[in-house]
Amino acid sequence: MNTTTDSIIVITIDGPSGSGKGTLSQLVAKRLSFHLLDSGALYRLVALSAVKQQANIHNEQAIAQIATGLDVKFDVQGEATKILLAGEDVTDAIRHETVGMNASLVAAYPAVRTALLQRQKDFAQAPGLIADGRDMGTVVFPQAPVKFFLTASAEARADRRFKQLQQKGASVDMVELINDIKARDERDTSRSVSPLKPAVDALVIDSTELTIEQVLNLMLARAHNSLGIKV
Query: Which of 146, 196 has the CB closer to ligand DC?
Result: 196
Q: Which stretch binds ligand DC (CB under 6 A): 68-76, 81-89, 102-110, 215-223?
A: 102-110
Rounded alpha-carbon distances, angstroms, from residue 213 to 23, 55, 159, 209, 227? 11, 42, 18, 12, 21
Instruction: For residue 141, give the nearest of 126, 127, 129, 157 by alpha carbon.
Output: 129
- Taking CB under 6 A as the criterion, the residue among 8, 107, 178, 219 binding ligand DC is 107
User: Should residue 9 be labelled a site residue for ligand DC when binding is judged by CB under 6 A?
Assistant: no
- By beta-carbon proximity to ligand DC, the closer residue of 37 and 216 is 37
Q: Which member of 19, 25, 49, 104 binds ligand DC (CB under 6 A)?
A: 104
Residue 184 touches ligand DC, criterion: CB under 6 A? yes
Reference 197, options 144, 134, 143; nearest CA is 134
- 40 binds ligand DC, rule: CB under 6 A: yes
Using CB under 6 A, which of 45, 109, 188, 207 touches ligand DC? 188
Residue 102 makes contact with ligand DC by CB under 6 A? no
Of the candidates 68, 147, 157, 63, the one whose C-alpha atom is nearest the C-alpha of residue 104 is 63
**151 lies in the site for ligand DC, by CB under 6 A:** no
Q: How far is 171 from 164, CA to CA, in rounded Å?
A: 11
Report the candidate in 155, 150, 202 with the shortest Cα–Cα distance to residue 177. 155
Q: Does 25 bind ligand DC (CB under 6 A)?
A: no
Rg (CA), the chain: 17
CB of 224 to ligand DC, least distance (A): 26
DSSP state of 8: S
Pick from 9, 28, 135, 177: which binds ligand DC (CB under 6 A)?
A: 135
Of 131, 138, 123, nearest in space to 194 by CA:
138
- Considering the complex, state which of residue 52 and residue 95 has its C-beta at the smaller distance from ligand DC: 95
Query: Which stretches of the chain bind ligand DC, using CB under 6 A?
Result: 17, 39-40, 43-44, 100, 103-104, 107, 133-135, 184, 188
